[in-house]
Copies of this chain bind each other. A is one copy, B any other.
Amino acid sequence: MEPIKIRPAREQVADALRRAIFTGEIQRGEELTQEAVAAQLGVSRMPVREAFLMLERDGLLMLNSHRKAVVRGLTEEDIVDHYDIRALLEGEAAARASVSEEVADIRAAYEDARSAGLRGDAAAFVEANQQFHRAVWEAADNPYLMRFLDQLWRGLPPHLPELVPVQMRQSLADHDQIMSALEAKDPEAARRAMRHHIQRSLQQFLNAWRSGSDS
Contacts and interface: CB of A to CB of B under 8 A. Distances in A.
Contact of A142 (B85, B144, B147, B151): B85
Interface residues of A, number: 26
Summarize A's interface: helix, strand, loop or mixed. helix
Contact of A92 (B50, B88, B151): B88
A50 B49 CA distance: 9
B85 A144 contact: yes
Contact of A152 (B92, B144, B155): B144
Nearest to A8: B65
Contacts of A143: 59, 78, 81
Contacts of A151: 148
Contacts of A50: 49-50, 53
Contacts of A145: 81, 85
Contact of A148 (B65, B78, B84, B148): B148
A89 B92 CA distance: 11
Contacts of A166: none
B144 A65 contact: no
A143 B177 CA distance: 30
Contacts of A85: 92, 142, 144-145, 148
Nearest to A83: B144
Nearest to A6: B65
Given A53-B53, A88-B88, A88-B92, A144 B8 contact: no
A50 B51 CA distance: 11
A88 B143 CA distance: 14
21 contacts: A8-B65, A49-B50, A53-B53, A57-B57, A59-B143, A59-B144, A81-B142, A81-B143, A81-B144, A81-B145, A82-B144, A84-B142, A84-B144, A85-B144, A85-B145, A85-B148, A88-B88, A88-B89, A88-B92, A148-B148, A148-B151
Given A49-B50, A81-B143, A144-B155, 9 more contacts: A50-B53, A53-B54, A59-B143, A59-B144, A78-B143, A82-B144, A85-B142, A85-B145, A148-B148
